[in-house]
Amino acid sequence: MSTPSDGARTAARIVHPDRAHVWHPYTQHWQAPAPVPIVRAEGSWLYPATGRPILDAISSWWVTTHGHCRPELVQAIATQAGTLDQVIFAGFTHEPAALLAEELVQVLPAGLSRIFFSDNGSTAVEVAIKISLQAFANLGTPRRLVAALEHAYHGDTFGAMAAGARGVFTHMYEPLLFEVARLPDPSEGATLAALDALIATRGADLAAVIVEPLILGAGGMRVWDEDVLRGIRLRTQAAGVHLIADEVMTGFGRTGPLFACERAGVSPDLLCLSKGITGGVLPLGATAATESLFEAFRSEDRRKTFFHGHSYTANPIACAAARASLRLFDSRSVTDRRRIEQANARQLDTLRGVPGVRAVRQLGTVAAVELEAPSGYLSDIGRELAAFAIAQGVLIRPLGNVAYCLPPYCTSDDELDRVYTVLHRFLSGERAAPIGSGGPIDD
Ligand SMILES: *Cc1c(COP(=O)(O)O)cnc(C)c1O
């Protein structure tokens, strides 16, 4: 191009230093197309420097709840940033954190009364596991074993990786990960029988069972039964084992109610939150615990302190965003989530039995389509579908051969329709033009 547009100049200004100096997550830099420079977002849409707007059908990695750049959140952040930006959270406190903790406790499942803040989902999980193990140690009855589900995903730090399923994400570190007892994925197997057997053989050493309640997210959007979650709760309670609910993905309305545990009427001992907690605008993690877990750290002996903290623990701006986001979970949000659930259900019906579709699944605002293809995260069909979708102005990011729609709650039925149209066209054999012939950026 002899006279590049403003957009092309902006794109070049971003992409060149990016290519020279940035290392992106989950990216094989020598294969991946150039990253798309985004300059603005609003509602369910991302606006690239050049080319058509992109519909964000995955809530920007599962974080955006109400929609991008909601004025209420923007305002709360601006006000807080001009008042108190950051303060050390050991020995100090502030209104955004104290009131957020109080407000979370009011909406969380009964019995969770203490909030430990951190930065992200992985740290929320690390904190839950460490609280569980140290609580047993502090009480003089140490237990060392954690149980987790097959196909689980709990984050990318070492403890979270240990709890997660072993696979391509973790195999490199396998020898360094602590032992975890693996229970069958409840969407497939006899989880409760396996838990009974585990408690019978190693119950005295079992500190905690960690689960992603009712839907295993990164493991392929595998939906599982409320009865099994209730069964896990009954058995862990009877055995004095902590139940950790990792609601990092399911929290804040994703599955319908505010928390997936509510669907089963279950209260865990520890509950992990992040992703949607700030409405998807700032990083924040929170681990909710029962008062009896908190009490297990009460001692004259300072060694029984929970020695864990992060520099940005309870950052005031992130907490202010989270409080503003909580206020947006009003009746309109309930209506929006129901509408998305119904629209997803109708759309999934049109995909049942279509050649190339192995299965469809849904829970609340999450819809998933498993494609006929070799399964596994590195399956090529997902990348082909993602490339096809982005060329049509739709952002999806299949997990291997599982495509899913996990939209911001402001997404309209017409917008959802675009996502499913892309899927239908892909299934009927259409493919993206080869890379280099006019993707979102050319340079
Ligand atoms: C994304 C996710 C995590 C990790 O959260 P990060 O903020 O990416 O560290 C943990 N658990 C579940 C269930 C998740 O979906």
CA gap 106, 127 in Å, rounded: 21
List the Cα angle 8/9/14 in 5-degree steps.
Answer: 95
One domain for residues 160 and 216: yes
One domain for residues 175 and 46: no
Q: Specify if 23 maps to a domain.
A: yes
Q: What is the pLDDT of residue 379?
A: 74
Q: What is the pLDDT of residue 173?
A: 97
Q: What is the pLDDT of residue 428?
A: 95
One domain for residues 261 and 213: yes
Taking residue 434's Cβ as centre, other Cβ atoms within 10 Å add up to: 9
Residue whose tokens read 């309109």: 332
304 is catalytic: no
Among 287, 305, 327, identify where a domain stops.
327
Q: What is the pLDDT of residue 434?
A: 62
One domain for residues 355 and 383: yes
**Total number of domains constituting the chain:** 2
Q: What is the pLDDT of residue 270?
A: 99
Q: Specify if 434 maps to a domain.
A: no
Distance 318 CA to ligand 1 centre (A): 17
Q: Are 59 and 65 in contact (CB under 8 A)?
A: yes
Q: DSSP letters along 334-376, please?
A: HHHHHHHHHHHHHHHHHHTT-TTEEEEEEETTEEEEEESS--S
One domain for residues 13 and 117: no
Token pair, residue 328, equals 């947006």
One domain for residues 28 and 90: no
One domain for residues 236 and 375: no
Distance 120 CA to ligand 1 centre (A): 7
409 is catalytic: no
The CATH number that applies at residue 367 is 3.90.1150.10
Among 264, 294, 327, identify where a domain stops.
327
Residue whose tokens read 């060149």: 16
Provide the 3-class DSSP secondary structure of residue 131.
helix
Q: Specify if 432 maps to a domain.
A: no
* Residue 378 burial by Cβ neighbours in a 10 Å radius (0-12, 13-18, 19+): exposed
Q: Specify if 441 maps to a domain.
A: no
Parent domain of 363: 4-69+330-427
Options 18, 26, 225, 442, the catalytic residue: 26
Q: Are 77 and 50 in contact (CB under 8 A)?
A: no
Q: What is the pLDDT of residue 93?
A: 98
56 lines ligand 1 (CB under 6 A): no
Taking residue 333's Cβ as centre, other Cβ atoms within 10 Å add up to: 18
Query: Counting atoms of ligand 1 from 1, which one is nearest the CA of 119?
Result: 7
Among 295, 327, 359, identify where a domain stops.
327
One domain for residues 312 and 342: no
CA gap 216, 187 in Å, rounded: 9
Q: What is the pLDDT of residue 437?
A: 41
249 lines ligand 1 (CB under 6 A): yes
CA gap 96, 80 in Å, rounded: 9
pLDDT values of the chain reduced to their tens digit, one per residue, 443 residues:
446 789 999 999 999 999 999 999 999 999 988 999 999 999 999 999 999 999 999 999 999 999 999 999 999 999 999 999 999 999 999 999 999 999 999 999 999 999 999 999 999 999 999 999 999 999 999 999 999 999 999 999 999 999 999 998 899 999 999 999 999 999 998 999 999 999 999 999 999 999 999 999 999 999 999 999 999 999 999 999 999 999 999 999 999 999 999 999 999 999 999 999 999 999 999 999 999 999 999 999 999 999 999 999 999 999 999 999 999 999 999 999 999 999 999 999 999 999 999 999 999 999 999 999 876 667 789 999 999 999 999 999 999 999 999 999 999 999 999 999 999 999 999 988 765 444 343 33
One domain for residues 372 and 286: no
Q: Are 372 and 356 in contact (CB under 8 A)?
A: yes
Residue whose tokens read 């094989």: 28
Read off the pLDDT of residues 211-262 as tens digits, 9 standing for 90 and up. 999 999 999 999 999 999 999 999 999 999 999 999 999 999 999 999 999 9
246 lines ligand 1 (CB under 6 A): yes
One domain for residues 180 and 320: yes
The CATH number that applies at residue 279 is 3.40.640.10
One domain for residues 102 and 59: no
Q: Specify if 437 maps to a domain.
A: no
- Supply φ then ψ for residue 387, to 5 degrees: -65, -40
Q: Specify if 48 maps to a domain.
A: yes
Residue whose tokens read 């759309």: 347
Pocket test for ligand 1, best of 59, 158, 259, 274 (most atoms within 8 A of CB): 274
* Signed CA dihedral, 215, 219, 220, 222: sign only: negative
Distance 126 CA to ligand 1 centre (A): 11
The pairing of strands 145-149 and 180-183 is: parallel
Q: Specify if 151 maps to a domain.
A: yes
Provide the 3-class DSSP secondary structure of residue 173.
helix
Q: Specify if 215 maps to a domain.
A: yes
List helix spans (H) across 51-93: 59-62, 71-81
442 is catalytic: no
CA gap 175, 178 in Å, rounded: 8
One domain for residues 215 and 357: no
